[in-house]
Structure 1
Amino acid sequence: MIALYRPGASAIHRAPAGPKVLVFIAITLAITLSAHSAWMLPAAAVLVVAGYLIAGLGLGELAAQVVALRWLIVVMLVTQLVFLPALVALANTGRVVVVIALAALVTLTTRVPALLDATERTLAPLRRFGVNPAGVGLLLAMTITTIPVIAGLAGSIREAQRARGVPVRATTFVVPLLVLSLKHSDDLADALAARGVE
């Protein structure tokens, strides 16, 4: 599991992990449920840019997060263009990019143990209904921190293909990415099992 935390003293860094996760969930739901709204995506993008600036990370860090997703963005956009109008495909891809950039902001300004603790505290009352707060917290932290891992795998694949002169095609890119992602998930599962996490 990769921790992307960048030390800082901004208001976002100092904010408790629980409220940050709740804000992330609320914005993600708003973006998802307002798919037909023309203003929601630009407003969310402005909010994300403002978040990076307030956190003292700057536009360079935001750009780095987006660039790291470039091949994932290409695959998403190309596959959607096959079935959807161009504007719809662009809007869908834009929503995913904004949500991922926001998730990156959360991990950049919050230590993973803090995310785990906040999630466990929030879900503790649901333990009587069979919910495992520790398991859910671990799942959340792993989900957020695995996004840049997959993006890094995608970048490595493309760089290797470029070095070999392989043209950009969905079939030559998606299959290796899927194989490496599955291998990463197997390695992660083995690591968790070795630590007694079922």
Structure 2
Amino acid sequence: IEDITGGKVLLRIISNLADKRIVKAWTKVPPTSIGGEEVVDRIVYAWAFAASDPYRAATHNKGIMNGIVAVALATGQDTRAIEAGAHAYACKDGRYKPLTIWQKDENGYLDGYIEVPLAVGTVGGSIRSNPMARLALKILGVSTAKELAEVMASVGLAQNLAALKALSTEGIQKGHMKLHARQLALAAGASPNEVDKVVELMLKEGVFTLEKAKEALSRVRST
């Protein structure tokens, strides 16, 4: 480079904005599988909100990356590089935008699309020395970086759909509280066969404390 330009090389590093390794994924969702036409409309409206407002888009894309980074962690990828590249790509048109698009087609189906840069690998030092990463790749059934990137983009799209559906209908708080109730049930000493019953009682009464979990467990065991 110095010979060609006549200049001097100062930095020896590549960019994490891997815009030559763009991955795309699509889905078409029947309205009957997600709660009907009204839910489809709500998801499209939620996406439009993110498309018009960078504050909402930041949280929208964070949810997408929840899915992508989970796969990246499991397979030994550089999660910080992936995050940096994705958020930089979201600004490629001069304004921060969602990495996904959600629209309703002429038949009322929900069409989803994601486009994201993903520089990942399935061979190399960190993966070779990490048996859990190799196991994760085996479970996924992928053998190339292209296949892994396609899985990651698909997971990001699915994660985004789940988040938008929850946010535009019952809200994510309900899901969070159910998860919290399960953790409390386990902390109270519930067995795997008892957890769901304890959670059901806690959700019905709307109280989420360890004492309430112990009380619910006692009631389950007394029946």
Give yes or no for TM over 0.5. Answer: no
TM-score normalised by length of structure 1: 0.30
Q: Which of the two has greater strand per residue?
A: 2
Tell me which of the two structures has the higher relative contact order, counting C-alpha pairs closer than 8 angstroms and 6 or more residues apart.
Answer: 1
Q: Which has the larger radius of gyration?
A: 2
Q: Which has the higher helix share?
A: 1
